[in-house]
């Protein structure tokens, strides 16, 4: 993939492994998105400091084998649905069984689906790429999720980093369940001269969801243990041992302001990689595979794993339905900041 040497904002068509994509740069950052790979933004760089922030795909075959461990995959709905089945009102939904245990549905319908590029623009110090997917009665997953909807993502690059804006509109005639998450995979370390041991992960977690042997929430919330409280303080090393934990979100006081998000802190280089999310993302999954693969996924989710099947109030689980013509919006931002 080519390098951006433009001094002002720019957007242009590029290719990778024979796949068409869009490259854009502004404010010292550069990004690359492949619409036909689930609109995955597979690359984000701080060009001024030579930082590759996201875990980038080595090749198409690797992506097809494990599409959830590269870039920013869209999870709609996020994570697992027990037995792929849940009920909303009088409607019962049956999703395909596709997780490794062959017992549940995982990660939704959009991460493999081709998206349409609906906007490419560069103006002054800002570059924008918008991608959209629409579902209707002819959509391949309509039998499992019988709703018409529009899902739009706007990616905006500037000196303030990468802004992601989400717009999901229910275009069907009845209420539509809406759960969203992002399996965002950050490089650890994100600086080429650092090691994983130099990095600490800070996340605005609140309480921990107890998980059963199938990684499903039992419905019980438990306090953070002594180590986990460091997510809200100096941070925890995101490498060295496996992480697979699920939490509610609760803002952290940072520099006199409320912060919702995750931070990868590299004090050896005086830098922090910030992943700031809006309050609509009420839960976090933290996962790093084996802990030795050089990445960590702090995954913001609107609802808890398996939310439609958890018998707790919607305010607790984040379970949500969109009324006909209702639009849900969420915002996140990724940027580098000096410590």
- Write out the catalytic residue numbers: 183, 299
Cβ distance 50 to 192 under 8 Å?
yes
Backbone angles phi, psi at 314, to 5 degrees: -60, -30
Residue 231: phi and psi, rounded to 5, are -55, -30
Q: Where are the alpha helices (DSSP H) in 15-93?
A: 60-65
Q: Residue 61: helix, strand or coil by DSSP?
A: helix
Strand partners, 177: 321
Rounded Cα distance between 67 and 57, Å, is 9
- Give CA–CA dist 235/155, Å, rounded: 28
Contact 222, 208 (CB under 8 A): yes
Terminal C-alpha separation, the chain: 31
* Both tokens assigned to 323: 């009324």
What's the token pair of residue 126? 């800002």
Count of residues making up the chain: 339
Q: Which two tokens stand for residue 318?
A: 């984040």
The rounded Cα 230 to chain-centroid distance in angstroms is 22
Q: Chain-centre distance of CA 192, in angstroms? A: 23
Q: How many CA atoms lie within 13 A of 51 on its CB side?
A: 24
């Amino acid at each position: 993939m080519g390098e951006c040497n433009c001094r002002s904002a720019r957007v242009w068509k590029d290719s990778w492994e024979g796949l068409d994509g869009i490259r854009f740069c502004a404010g010292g950052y550069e990004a690359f998105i492949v619409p036909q790979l689930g609109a995955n933004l597979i690359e984000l760089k701080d060009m001024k400091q030579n930082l590759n922030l996201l875990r980038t795909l080595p090749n198409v075959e690797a992506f097809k084998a494990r599409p959830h461990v590269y870039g920013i995959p869209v999870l709609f709905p996020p994570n697992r649905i027990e037995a792929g089945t849940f009920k909303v009102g009088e409607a019962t939904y049956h999703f395909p069984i596709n997780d490794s245990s062959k017992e549940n549905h995982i990660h939704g319908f959009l991460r493999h689906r081709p998206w349409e590029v609906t906007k490419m623009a560069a103006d002054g110090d800002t570059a924008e790429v918008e991608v959209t997917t629409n579902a209707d009665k002819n959509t391949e997953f309509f039998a499992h999720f019988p709703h018409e909807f529009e899902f739009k993502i706007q990616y905006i690059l500037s000196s303030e980093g990468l802004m992601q804006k989400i717009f999901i509109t229910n275009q069907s005639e009845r209420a539509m369940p809406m759960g969203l998450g992002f399996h965002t995979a950050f490089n650890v370390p994100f600086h080429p001269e650092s090691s994983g041991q130099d990095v600490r992960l800070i996340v605005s977690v609140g309480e921990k969801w107890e998980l059963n042997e199938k990684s499903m929430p039992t419905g019980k919330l438990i306090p953070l243990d002594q180590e986990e409280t460091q997510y809200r303080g100096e941070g925890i090393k995101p490498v060295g041992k496996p992480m697979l934990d699920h939490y509610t979100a609760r803002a952290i006081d940072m520099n006199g302001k409320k912060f919702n998000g995750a931070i990868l802190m590299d004090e050896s280089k005086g830098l922090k990689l910030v992943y700031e999310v809006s309050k609509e993302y009420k839960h976090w999954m933290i996962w790093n595979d084996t802990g030795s693969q050089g990445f960590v996924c702090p995954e913001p989710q609107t609802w808890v794993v398996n939310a439609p099947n958890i018998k707790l109030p919607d305010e607790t689980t984040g379970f949500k339905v969109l009324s006909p013509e209702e639009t849900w919006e969420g915002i996140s931002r990724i940027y580098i900041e000096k410590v």
